[in-house]
Amino acid sequence: MSGTTPRQQWLAILARASRAEIESLAGGLGALPDHDVLKAPETGTVMVEGRAGGAGRRFNLGEATVTRCVVRLGDGTMGFSYALGRDGRKARLAAVIDGLLQGEGEAGPLRSGVAELATRQQAARTLASRKAAATKVDFFTLVRGA
């Protein structure tokens, strides 16, 4: 997403992280802070929309599974998690992390943990792009009847 807020960016990074990565991020805090689960992890769907021709009329492509969770930290901050898939544990931890990140300065430990995840995700994208680039092709058109 371009032109996004820091919170949108970390939500995107958390959504792409594996459960193990989120657990490791949360594990770095020691014990999880006290929090109320306002909306227990719930799996549902989001209808994915496309556009005819890529830019035209909207249409429903099909649904995708999504799991969400909402928590409230002791100081009243609300933490959210919305991510593709059906992982309730990841959703709850990510919601707590979202809550904590909102109260943390830019040099905080969670911020740097999220930055590490972002670096790893970017590296994976870069490698995929370089591998695809190795299959770039120039076909030559033969002259007919030559």
Partner 1 sequence: MYVAVKGGEAAILATHDLIAEARRGNEAVPELAVAQIREQMGLACARIMNEGSLYDPDLAALALKQAQGDAIEAAFLMRAYRTTLPRFGSSEPVDTAQMAIRRRVSATYKDLPGGQVLGPTYDYTHRLFDFALMDGASPVAVPAAAADLLDATMPRVPDILGAEGLMEAEEPPEGDPRPFDLTREPVSFPADRDVRLQAMARGDEGFMLGLGYSVQRGYGNSHPFVGEVRVGEVSVEFVPEELGFAVDLGEITLTECQMVNQFNGTKDVPPQFTRGYGLAFGHAERKAMSMSLVDRALKAREFGEAAEYPAQQDEFVLYHSDNVEAAGFVEHLKLPHYVDFQGELELIRRIRREREQRLAGEIQETQVQETQDTLPEAAE
Tell whether residue 144 is a contact of partner 1 (CB under 8 A).
no
Q: How far apart are CA 18 and CA 21, in angstroms?
A: 5
**10 touches 115 (CB < 8 A):** no
Tell whether residue 40 is a contact of partner 1 (CB under 8 A).
no
Among 20, 31, 57, 107, binds partner 1 (CB under 8 A): 57
* Nearest to 100, CA basis, from 41, 39, 26, 15: 26
Return the range that interacts with partner 1 (CB under 8 A); candidates 28-36, 88-96, 111-119, 138-146: 138-146
Tell whether residue 101 is a contact of partner 1 (CB under 8 A).
no
Among 66, 72, 88, 102, binds partner 1 (CB under 8 A): 66
Among 20, 58, 105, 145, binds partner 1 (CB under 8 A): 58
Tell whether residue 129 is a contact of partner 1 (CB under 8 A).
yes
**CA pseudo-torsion sign 114, 120, 123, 125:** negative
Q: How far apart are CA 41 and CA 52, in angstroms?
A: 34
Helix residue ranges, H only, 17-75: 19-27
Q: How many residues of this chain bind partner 1 (CB under 8 A)?
A: 57
Measured between alpha carbons, how far is residue 116 from residues 10, 16, 127 in Å?
11, 13, 17
Token couple for 129: 């792009």
In the complex, the smallest distance separating the C-beta of residue 38 from partner 1, rounded to whole angstroms, is 10
Among 31, 134, 142, 146, binds partner 1 (CB under 8 A): 134
Q: Which residues bind partner 1 (CB under 8 A)?
A: 1, 4-5, 8, 11-12, 15-16, 42-66, 68, 70, 80, 82-86, 125-139, 141
